[in-house]
Amino acid sequence: MREGNFIDYVKLHVTSGKGGKGSMHLHREKYIEKGGPDGGDGGRGGHVIIRGNENLWTLHEFTFKRHIKAGHGEHGSKQRSTGADGEDIYIDVPLGTVIRDTETEETIDEVVSHEQEIVIAPGGKGGRGNWHFKSSTNQTPRYAQPGLEGEERDITLELKVLADVGLVGFPNAGKSTLLSVITAAKPKIANYEFTTLKPNLGIVKYRDYRSFVVADIPGIIEGAAEGKGLGYRFLRHIERNSTLLFLVPCDVESIEGQYEILLDELRRYNPELLDKDRVLAISKSDMLDEELKAELEKEVAKAFKKIPYVFISSVAQQGLQELKDTLWEVLNKDPLHKA
Q: Is 324 annotated as a binding residue?
A: no
Report CA-CA distances (Å) from 237 to 83, 113, 164, 170, 177: 45, 17, 11, 16, 19
In this predicted structure, the answer to whether residue 87 has a pLDDT above a threshold of 80 is: yes
In this predicted structure, the answer to whether residue 338 has a pLDDT above a threshold of 50 is: no
Question: What is the structure's pLDDT at 269?
Answer: 77
Q: Is 195 annotated as a binding residue?
A: yes
Percentage of residues of the chain with pLDDT beyond 90: 36
In this predicted structure, the answer to whether residue 118 has a pLDDT above a threshold of 90 is: yes
Query: Helix (H, G, I), strand (E, B), or coil: what is residue 76?
Result: coil
Question: What is the structure's pLDDT at 195?
Answer: 43
Q: 253-287 burial by CB neighbour count: b if 16+ within 10 A, else e?
A: eebeebbebbbebbeebeeebeeebbbbbbbbbbe
Q: Is the pTM of this model over 0.75?
A: no
Which band of pLDDT confidence, cut at 50, 70 and 90, is reported for residue 224?
very low
Return the ∠ at Cα 286 (arms to 284 and 292), rounded to 5°: 100
Which band of pLDDT confidence, cut at 50, 70 and 90, is reported for residue 234?
low
Give me the amino acid identity at 85.
Answer: D
Q: Which phi and psi (to 5°) does residue 167 adopt?
A: -85, 130
Q: Is 176 annotated as a binding residue?
A: yes
Which band of pLDDT confidence, cut at 50, 70 and 90, is reported for residue 199?
low
Which band of pLDDT confidence, cut at 50, 70 and 90, is reported for residue 194?
very low
Question: What is the structure's pLDDT at 143?
Answer: 87
Q: Is 81 annotated as a binding residue?
A: no
Q: Is 315 annotated as a binding residue?
A: yes
In this predicted structure, the answer to whether residue 103 has a pLDDT above a threshold of 60 is: yes
Query: Helix (H, G, I), strand (E, B), or coil: what is residue 159?
Result: strand
Q: Is 302 annotated as a binding residue?
A: no
Nearest-10 crossing angle of helices 290-303, 255-269: 40
d(CA 26, CA 155): 44
Q: Is 170 annotated as a binding residue?
A: yes
Q: Is 286 annotated as a binding residue?
A: yes
Q: Is 194 annotated as a binding residue?
A: yes
Q: Is 169 annotated as a binding residue?
A: yes
Q: Is 285 annotated as a binding residue?
A: yes
Question: What is the structure's pLDDT at 222?
Answer: 53
d(CA 127, CA 40): 9
Question: What is the structure's pLDDT at 72?
Answer: 96
Q: Is 304 annotated as a binding residue?
A: no
DSSP string, 80-109: TBPPPPPPPEEEEE-TTEEEEETTT--EEE
CB hemisphere CA count around 262 (13 angstroms): 23
Q: Is 95 annotated as a binding residue?
A: no
Percentage of residues of the chain with pLDDT beyond 70: 85
Q: Is 197 annotated as a binding residue?
A: yes
> Who wins on pLDDT, 92 or 188?
92
Which band of pLDDT confidence, cut at 50, 70 and 90, is reported for residue 108?
very high
Give me the amino acid identity at 88.
Answer: D
Pairing mode of beta strands 48-52, 9-15: unpaired
Q: Is 311 annotated as a binding residue?
A: no
In this predicted structure, the answer to whether residue 176 has a pLDDT above a threshold of 70 is: yes
Q: Is 122 annotated as a binding residue?
A: no
Conformation bin of residue 258: beta by default, left when phi > 0, alpha when psi is -120 to 50: alpha
| Alpha-helix residue ranges (DSSP H) falling in 126-216 | 175-182
Report CA-CA distances (Å) from 113 to 98, 166, 200: 12, 20, 20
What confidence tens digit (pLDDT) does each residue in 300-334 have? 888 888 899 999 998 888 899 999 999 999 988 75
Q: Is 216 annotated as a binding residue?
A: yes
Q: Is 196 annotated as a binding residue?
A: yes
Q: Is 283 annotated as a binding residue?
A: yes
Q: Is 313 annotated as a binding residue?
A: yes
Pairing mode of beta strands 165-169, 211-216: parallel
Lowest mean pLDDT among 36-40, 150-154, 236-240: 236-240
What confidence tens digit (pLDDT) does each residue in 242-252 have? 899 999 998 88
Report CA-CA distances (Å) from 179 to 63, 156, 164, 236, 298: 28, 30, 13, 19, 27
In the chain the domains, ranked by start, together with CATH numbers, are 9-159 (2.70.210.12), 165-332 (3.40.50.300)
Question: What is the structure's pLDDT at 339?
Answer: 36
